[in-house]
Amino acid sequence: MSLFDQILAARGLAPDAIDDFLSPDYTKKHDPFLLPDMAKAVERLVQARQKQEHITIYGDYDIDGLTATTVLIDAFASFGFKHVNAFIPNRFVEGYGLTVDAVEQIVAGGAQLIVTVDCGSLSHKEIERSNVLGVDVIVTDHHNVSDVQPLAVAVVNPKRKDHVYPFIDLAGVGVAFKLVQALQTRLEGLPVGHEKWLLDLVALGTVCDIVTLVDENRTNVYWGLQVLQKTRRPGLKALMAVAKIESATLNSRSLGFGLGPRMNAAGRLETARHSLDMLLAEDNESALEKAQQLDAMNIARRADQAMILKAAILQADQYESDPVLVVSGADWNHGIVGIVAAKLLEKYKKPTYVLQEMGESSKGSARSYGGFSAVDAIRAADDIITKGGGHTLAAGVTLPTENIAAFRVRVNEFYRSQQLSDQAALLLPKADVVIEDFTEVTESLIVQLSGLEPFGSGNPEPILKIENITVIDQRRMGADNQHVKLEVKDRLGKRMQVLAFSAPDYFFAEPGETVTVLFQPTLNEWQGRRSVEGRLLHVDGA
């Protein structure tokens, strides 16, 4: 059995399922009317189209919300809706989701119907306020729901307990796309098949929201990457240009690490409206101007992030004995602290809360892993916080600044009460296959592995493990020598270079050491030369 076949087998892909996995069939999409309340949503929108009502699409400031907003703006234009605009909340003003103030502002602006994307499932009082003001709300969302739905015209969410939809892990943009497919059955203007031109947006939002890339998500991203290669959108063309992404080598990593951070930077520093304007740009000149603005914001975001991370590390070192880190600073932008929390988790192998102190109040984000729920720990501190919520692995919290020390004690008490064990081991990468040598790690294998794209949650990039290899050379790189390239030799004497950026100390194995490494095969092209290398994920001494 070839190494590629071993990887397929390790992922549970039976021979009769391989072709469908490698080439997903777009025509096998699920019936959108199986989603809860979809028929009600379509009926209300058909009425709005007949009356040419003023519609506001209420998005979210992350990429899922921005792409979902753009999908509906684009599709509604095709269907002949003439009065459609968008409202994107500001992270620093409205915060996440619907707010009563935003609803009142939208209604005062003349809206007759509000359609949410990527939010709204828990917005009971906000939707009630809209109803009182005489404006209907249609919710399209994918976040967790309550037992009782808000009193909207429709709440289209695959995670509702009364759902019969075959796949519940759609991104917000995926739910918006299903609404478009449903509207195609009632309205003219977007012939069946032409909705595929929206898949560039669906792919971008789906990958960046880190939902599982299986079932309908895999299909949408697989075909969306092909649409993105020939996208008609000046904004996405310009953003790929400033990110130096070639359409010929476009993959899910390009979205998650190239386009995504630049679009998210706007909402983290100022307003995500900049990213929406880029997506909606109609000419190349303005598109390039907006893409360059996002690129500059991303550079500024990285500088701010580095500053916060450096200070957070100094503070985290003071709490070495705490199983949960809680750090805070007055000049730490709370639009960035979530990324910093993820970096600290990676460095210290501990759940982490990072807060911005804003006078008497502080606000921040948490990142966790394994059996420790970031949001349950917040719930255990309900009496000393202002508000908080989120998920097991990521959450947000607002609390009085004077309560930070008490909050640190409380979440650490909660951790100890859980009696968790071997948590750090859960962060280690999992190998698909253990290889004896580098013989089959070739350019042709990398080409075969690319057929497993798109990679992401539920379909990670394959990882190989090789034991008892010898370090031949170590090269430190970067301004602070934070990157490492090892040259290693297998039992047959075959050599390979493996590289890690911002590597932990234990990655810096010395020449002569015998080690075990986990890596992902990559193809390096430099000055016309191509060589097989490895993206270094873990190093173990002998």
For residue range 501-510, what is the model confidence (pLDDT) as tens digits?
988 888 999 9
Does position 262 have pLDDT exceeding 70, yes or no?
yes
**CA proximity to 341, closest of 291, 292, 397, 381:** 397
The Cα-based distances of 344 to 10, 200, 317, 490 in angstroms read 31, 33, 11, 34
Architecture of domain 320-424 in CATH? Answer: Roll (3.10)
Can you give the three-state secondary structure of 358-392, one letter per residue?
A: ECCEEEEEEECCCCCCHHHHHHCCHHHCCEEEECC
Q: What distance in Å separates the CA atoms of residue 202 and residue 398, rounded to the nearest whole number?
A: 32
Please report which confidence band the pLDDT of residue 525 belongs to, taking 50, 70 and 90 as the band edges.
confident
Average pLDDT over residues 102-111: 97
Class of the CATH-defined domain 433-541: mainly beta
Q: Are 407 and 381 in contact (CB under 8 A)?
A: yes
Q: What distance in Å separates the CA atoms of residue 287 and residue 301, rounded to the nearest whole number?
A: 21
Query: What pLDDT score was predicted for residue 78?
Result: 98
Does position 236 have pLDDT exceeding 70, yes or no?
yes
Residue 288 parent element (H or E): helix 284-316
Query: What pLDDT score was predicted for residue 77?
Result: 98
Query: What pLDDT score was predicted for residue 199?
Result: 98
Please report which confidence band the pLDDT of residue 223 belongs to, taking 50, 70 and 90 as the band edges.
very high
For residue range 528-538, what is the model confidence (pLDDT) as tens digits?
788 999 999 99
Report the predicted TM-score, pTM, of the whole model to 2 decimal places.
Answer: 0.90
Cα three-residue angle 372-168-174, rounded to 5 degrees: 110
Q: What distance in Å separates the CA atoms of residue 390 and residue 397, rounded to the nearest whole number?
A: 9
Average pLDDT over residues 83-97: 89
DSSP-derived secondary structure for 150-165: -S-SEEE-TTSTT---
Q: Please, which residues have CB within 8 angstroms of residue 369's CB and are 6 or more apart in sequence?
A: 345, 351, 393, 423, 426, 427
Query: What pLDDT score was predicted for residue 82?
Result: 97
Go through the chain and tell me how many residues it has.
Answer: 542
For residue range 429-454, what is the model confidence (pLDDT) as tens digits?
999 999 999 999 999 999 999 999 99
| Phi, psi at 185, each rounded to 5° | -80, -15
Burial letters 253-273, b for 16+ CB under 10 A, else e? bbbbebbbbbbbbbbbbbbbb
Does position 187 have pLDDT exceeding 90, yes or no?
yes
Query: What pLDDT score was predicted for residue 389?
Result: 82
Query: What pLDDT score was predicted for residue 210?
Result: 85
Which pairs with CB-CB distance under 8 Å and at least 24 residues apart come from 262-266? 262/291, 262/294, 262/295, 262/297, 262/298, 263/63, 263/66, 263/208, 263/239, 263/294, 264/62, 264/63, 264/208, 265/294, 265/297, 265/298, 265/300, 265/301, 266/293, 266/294, 266/297
Q: What distance in Å separates the CA atoms of residue 509 and residue 378, rounded to the nearest whole number?
A: 40
Please report which confidence band the pLDDT of residue 542 belongs to, taking 50, 70 and 90 as the band edges.
low
Please report which confidence band the pLDDT of residue 465 belongs to, taking 50, 70 and 90 as the band edges.
very high
Q: What is the mean pLDDT of the chain?
A: 94
Query: What pLDDT score was predicted for residue 75?
Result: 98
Average pLDDT over residues 458-487: 94
Please report which confidence band the pLDDT of residue 120 belongs to, taking 50, 70 and 90 as the band edges.
very high
List the domain boundaries for the chain: 31-195, 320-424, 433-541
Query: What pLDDT score was predicted for residue 10?
Result: 93
Strand order in the sheet with 325-329: 325-329, 352-358, 361-367, 394-400, 387-390
Average pLDDT over residues 300-305: 95
Query: What pLDDT score was predicted for residue 529?
Result: 86
For residue range 391-401, what is the model confidence (pLDDT) as tens digits?
888 889 999 99
Residue with tokens 């997506």: 279
Average pLDDT over residues 356-381: 94
Topology (CATH) of 31-195: inorganic pyrophosphatase (n-terminal core) (3.90.1640)
For residue range 39-75, what is the model confidence (pLDDT) as tens digits?
999 999 999 999 999 999 999 899 999 999 999 999 9
Q: Please, which residues have CB within 8 angstroms of residue 157's CB and are 6 or more apart in sequence?
A: 35, 36, 121, 139, 140, 141, 142, 143, 145, 163, 175
Does position 512 have pLDDT exceeding 90, yes or no?
yes
| Phi, psi at 89, each rounded to 5° | -65, 150
Residue 530 parent element (H or E): strand 529-541
Pairing verdict, β 495-500 and 483-489: antiparallel
Q: What distance in Å separates the CA atoms of residue 253 and residue 251, rounded to the nearest whole number?
A: 5
